[in-house]
Each structure stands twice: as structure tokens, then as C-alpha cells.
Amino acid sequence: MIPVRGFDGATVVVLGLGRSGLTAARALRAGGAHVLAWDDGAKGREAAEAEGFEVRNPTQPGALDGVTTLVTSPGIPHLYPAPHPAIAAALAAGVAVDNDIGLFFRSLGWGDSVPRVVAITGSNGKSTTSALLHHVLTQAGRRAHLAGNIGRGVLDLDPPGTDDVIVLELSSYQTELARSLTPDVAVFTNLTPDHLDRHGGYGGYFAAKRRLFAEGGPDRAIIGVDEPEGLFLAGQMQEALVDDRVIRVSLGKLSGPGWLVTARKGWLAETRKGRQVASVDLRDIPGLPGRHNHQNACCAWAAARALGLAPREIEAGLRSYPGLPHRSQRIAERGGVTYVNDSKATNVDAAAQALQAFDRIRWICGGLQKDGGLAALHPHLARVARAYVIGREAQAFALALGPDVETDICTDMATAVARAAADSGPGETVLLAPAAASFDQYDSFERRGEDFVACVAALGAD
């Protein structure tokens, strides 16, 4: 555990006692703070009491007297669509609001050991980029830790050494509120619409991501520039025509004398001062299928280069990367048919990227639709032989796909997998890429992916 510094003797409220919240409470107490804990659920309050924390409802009169800071879990809204009552009370009382990411960065400079930190955000690909970078570093013999929105809660890490590298995946929920954001390397993968209700629209969503670069000023900024927001952010960070503090990443053609990492037609290329210095053929790397994973590889490559790794070390790590569960995960091949679990494709853009990665697709899709509809998928449906639609509103989802794709209303995963397997032939891919949230049928995208894996495994038992 990393003790939180700067709160010795202070009274701090921790709101939300899930994984990150309870860990934050322990880390604050280890740093000398007096911790008051609250969760809207009785189970969370009971867990805190069992560990000796004082439980207090911060919305009660006088409950915030003497409190310096309220630390909230990332899933709790603090502004849009409306602040949680406890956060509203804290703001009205002049109590600072922070989260565990802010506490982590605040605590880094208190010891003799100061690790390097790479923080990765973006709409899609940040989990794979984070896991891929962590894998590349460990394969190269570097001591690396994976935390944040993936792996362990950041304050749950053992105190790191000076030679360590901490790789953080950060969601917009985390970057939006953290009062301290000072990574050595910051990565912005891309931006597509997501969580718009939480951020008050697309501009608010981008602003939440941008804070990672604006608050502390990273030594190196790695920015995907294929969307206007990324191009704008790179322009803001760059201070000269040749500025090695900014590495631009693209799936298209980039020019200029700056530091560039691109992937075109499956080839990754690194260019500096107008000269190519390294290239890798990504097309035969099984753990990184498709253009979206090629972008992830570019971001991880750039971060590893910023940390001083040689191209040959990075290429070896890319080639040995096994992939992440639920993210373009090849789980089986039977009778020439490949089964791929991309349950993390919870929005339209992520699903579109998955559809571009394979030919002749039997597509399992559906769930709780997000704002914006499914129109952005239409240009990518030519590769779909048939869509097998799951979810409580499968009929409406199928209609939204339009008349150009043949659909099969399956509703549940077992039916979808069985029908897709029966229809498929050699050379085809049965792909779970839902383009929707899971909460109509599952409590997480992980549970949905696990159900898919189990249904595919059951095929072999018949």
C-alpha cells in the first residue's frame, strides 16, 4: 500500500467503499489521516466498520464540520447529470473534493524513491495500450506495475522504487476530478462519443481527458491525432516545429520534422526529424489484430521509446503479447472457424474497429444502446454475414442496424453462440462485439464476455 501523504491529523471523508474507495481509506489512515467512511449501500458501510473506520453520513447536519477533503470513487457523479448529495454538501461547505488518483500523485514526491509514471487515457484502446506497455516493459526486464482503471487500485500498490515504472489506465471519470495529475508520460489514444451524460456533452468529455495534459504538464505527451480533438491537443502541447516532448500517433500518413509513430497497412513506422528510424510488420502478431490494435501498438511503442527502450526490445514485447481478456481475444478455433471475444466493445466506435479487423463475420451484438444510435456502424457491415442480436431490446437493436444486414433475434448469449456456430463455415469469425453496454443482462462487460467464452466452450462438449 502507498500511504497518502499531506493529511496527517486531518479529517477526510471517503465516499463510496468499493475497491478504490476502501483502499483509499486504508491508505489515508496509513498516512495519519482521520477517516470518515460512507457508502449508500449497507454492505459497503459494514465492510468499513469491520476494518475500524468511523461511518458517518456526510449529508447530515454538521457531518462535514472540520473535514478538509472528501475523496470520492470515480463512478459517483460530482457535476453532471447531477452531483451526488454528499458531494453537493461538500462543495457547498467549501470542502475540497478529490479521488484516489489525485491522492496518488500528491503522495509521489514524499519519499526518496520517485518512480516514473505513464498515464494513458482515451475513449478506446486505453486498456490494451496500458496492458501492452506493461508487458513490453516487463519483457524488457523493467520493473513495472499496472494500475488505475485496470489491474490494481493505484493506492494498493506496494511503495515503488526509483527505477520502477507505474502504468496507469485512467478513465475520464478519474482525470476529470483528480486535483493532482503529474505523470512523466501522458498518452491520449483517441476520442469518440461516450459517457456524454456524465460530462455534460462532447466538449465536457474532451475537457475531462485534456486535464491529464493541462494540469501538470507531462515531460512527454503521446497523442493520437486522427480526430480533431487530438490534433488540437497536440498543437497546444507543441511549442516549436521540432519538439520532442510531443509524439504524434496516427493510422494515416503524417509528415513534418517532429516525432511521429504511424501504422499504415499494418506497418508501424517511427520517424524523427523526417527520417524513419524503425519499422515493424504488425500484421502477423496474433495478439494485436486489426487497425485499432495497430493504433494501440503505436501508442505503446511511443511510450516505451519515451522511457528509453530500444526498438528491438519493444518489437519482442509486441510479438509475445498474449492479448487482454474481452478485447479482441481469440478464444477458440473449431472447424476452421475462429471465435473472438471483444465484449469490451461497448460503444459503436469500438465495435466498428472490431468489425474492420476480420473478414466474413458472424456477429453477436446487442445490449443497452448508448446515445447516438448505430448509424456509424453501417459503413462497416459489409463484412457481416449475419448479426445475432442479444439483449432485452434485441428487436429494436436489429431494426437500428438497417436493411442491409441479415439479423437473427436471439436475445440470450447461448442461443446466439449456438446459431452462429451452426451457420458458420471455414474461414469465418464468430465475433462478440456488442456495440452496447451490458447492464440489461449482465453486471459488467466482463461477465458478458465470460458467458460468451463458456458458451463457446460448451460447443466442444456436445
Q: Is 128 annotated for ligand binding? A: yes
CB 337 within 8 A of CB 355: no
> Scanning the structure block, which residue is given the C-alpha cell 448469449?
413
Q: Which residue, among 239, 224, 306, has the nearest Cα to 272 in the 3D structure?
A: 306
CA distances from 256 to 36, 237, 271, 383 (A): 54, 16, 9, 35
Q: Which amino acid is at 145?
A: H
Q: Which residue, among 303, 297, 436, 302, has the nearest Cα to 365 in the 3D structure?
A: 436
Q: Classify strands 337-341 and 384-390 as parallel, antiparallel or unpaired.
A: unpaired
Q: Is 127 annotated for ligand binding? A: yes
Q: Is 149 annotated for ligand binding? A: no
Taking the C-alpha atoms of 348, 349, 353 and 354 in order, what is their torsion angle to the nearest 10 degrees? -30
Compute the C-alpha angle 351/196/200, nearest 5°.
170
End-to-end CA separation in angstroms for the chain: 47
Q: Is 209 annotated for ligand binding? A: no
- Rounded CA separation 449/107 (Å): 36
CB 395 within 8 A of CB 409: yes
Q: Is 99 annotated for ligand binding? A: no
Q: Is 97 exposed, middle or buried (0-12, 13-18, 19+ CB in 10 A)?
A: buried
Helix (H, G, I), strand (E, B), or coil: what is residue 439? coil
Q: Is 123 annotated for ligand binding? A: yes
Q: Is 125 annotated for ligand binding? A: yes
Q: Which residue, among 321, 322, 327, 326, has the nearest Cα to 453 in the 3D structure?
A: 326
- Rounded CA separation 28/43 (Å): 21
Binding-site residue set for ATP: 122-128
Binding-site residue set: 122-128
